[in-house]
Structure 1
Amino acid sequence: MSNLSHDTQAMMAFQNNKKSTGLAYVLWFFLGSLGAHRFYLGRTGSAVGMLVLFILGWMTVWALGLGLLFLIPLGVWLLVDIFLIPGMAAQQNNQLINQLSANSAPKMSAVDELARYAALRDSGAISSDEYESQKRRIMGVL
C-alpha cells in the first residue's frame, strides 16, 4: 500500500469508513428504539439517551403506565430521526473527509520548507527578515 499516493490512500480509507444512509435507516427500522442508528452514525451520547429511555420505559410500564412517560418521548424522537438521518450521515462523512485530508497531506521536510522560503525571499515575495524568522522557526531556534 506504500506504493499508492496519499490521495489514493485517503480515498480508500474514506470508502472503507464512510457511513451509509441506507444502513442507518435499516438500523433505525429494526433497532431504532435502542439507538442503534445513532451509535452507527457516531452519535454515542444521544444513542445512550435513547437506550436509557427504552430500558426505563419497559421496566416501569407495568407501574400504572409510568413507562409511557419514557416511551412516548422515545417514539417522538424516533419519528424525528427519520428526517435527521441523512444529515447525520453526511456530517459524519464530512468529518471523516476532513480528518483524512489533514492526515494525508505529506509533511514537508525542513530542507524543503527552507528552500521554499528562500525562493520566496529571492523572488521578493518576503523580506530577508521574514525569511530569517521562518528559518529560526523551522530550525527550532526562537
Structure 2
Amino acid sequence: MYNSQYLMSQLTNEERLLVNSEVEKRRRSAAVAYLLWVFLGFVGGHRFYFGKTGSGVAMALITILTLGFGVIVTGVWALVDVFLISGWLREDVEQIEVEVAQAILAQRQVN
C-alpha cells in the first residue's frame, strides 16, 4: 500500500484540493462513531460503522447468546475500542486519500 503523503506530494495544488474535497465527502464522522460507541458499544455498533463486521458480530453474539452476561466482556472490549476509534478515523482518511490520489495519477497516465 502506498503512503498517502508520498502520493499527495505527486499532485498539483488543484488535485490536492480535489482529494481533500473527496475526503470531506466520504470520511466517517467522529461524532457518529462515538455516539455508536456510547449507545451500541456493547453489541459492536461502532465496529460495524468502521466495516469491522467480524468483530462486530462477535461482540453482538457474545452479548446476545449469554443473555446479557457477556456485557462484562464486551464492555471491557468496548472500553479498549474507545481509545482505538481516533486511529480508525485517521486510517479511514488515509485510505480515501490513497484511493483518490491513485485514481488521479492513473487518469494522468491515460491522458
TM-score past 0.5 threshold:
yes
- For the pair 1:55 / 2:80, whether they are aligned, the reply is no
- The alpha-carbon deviation at position 6 of structure 1 amounts to 4.8
- For the pair 1:100 / 2:100, whether they are aligned, the reply is yes
Larger CA Rg, structure 1 vs 2: 1
Separation (CA, whole Å) in 2 of partners of 1:15 and 1:41: 16
Q: Which has the higher contact order (CA 8 A, sep 6+)?
A: 2
**TM-score normalised over the length of structure 1:** 0.59
Residues 60-86 of structure 1: per-residue CA shift (max 9 Å, x gap): x5xxxxxx3x33211110111121111
Q: Which residue of 2 aligns with 1:64?
A: none
Separation (CA, whole Å) in 1 of partners of 2:56 and 2:46: 8
Q: Which residue of 1 aligns with 2:22?
A: 13
Please give the root-mean-square deviation of Cα atoms over the aligned residues, in Å: 2.1
Gaps of 5+ in 2: 1-13
| Runs of 4+ in structure 1 over 6 Å off | none
Q: Secondary structure at the match of 1:48?
A: helix
> Which has more helix, going by share of residues?
2
- The alpha-carbon deviation at position 22 of structure 1 amounts to 2.3
Residues 22-78 of structure 1: per-residue CA shift (max 9 Å, x gap): 2211110111122111111222221121111122122xx5xxxxxx3x332111101
Q: Which residue of 1 aligns with 2:53?
A: 44
Number of aligned residue pairs: give it: 97
Separation (CA, whole Å) in 2 of partners of 1:29 and 1:88: 16
Gaps of 5+ in 1: 62-67, 113-142
Q: Secondary structure at the match of 1:108?
A: helix
* 2:94 aligned partner, one-letter code: N
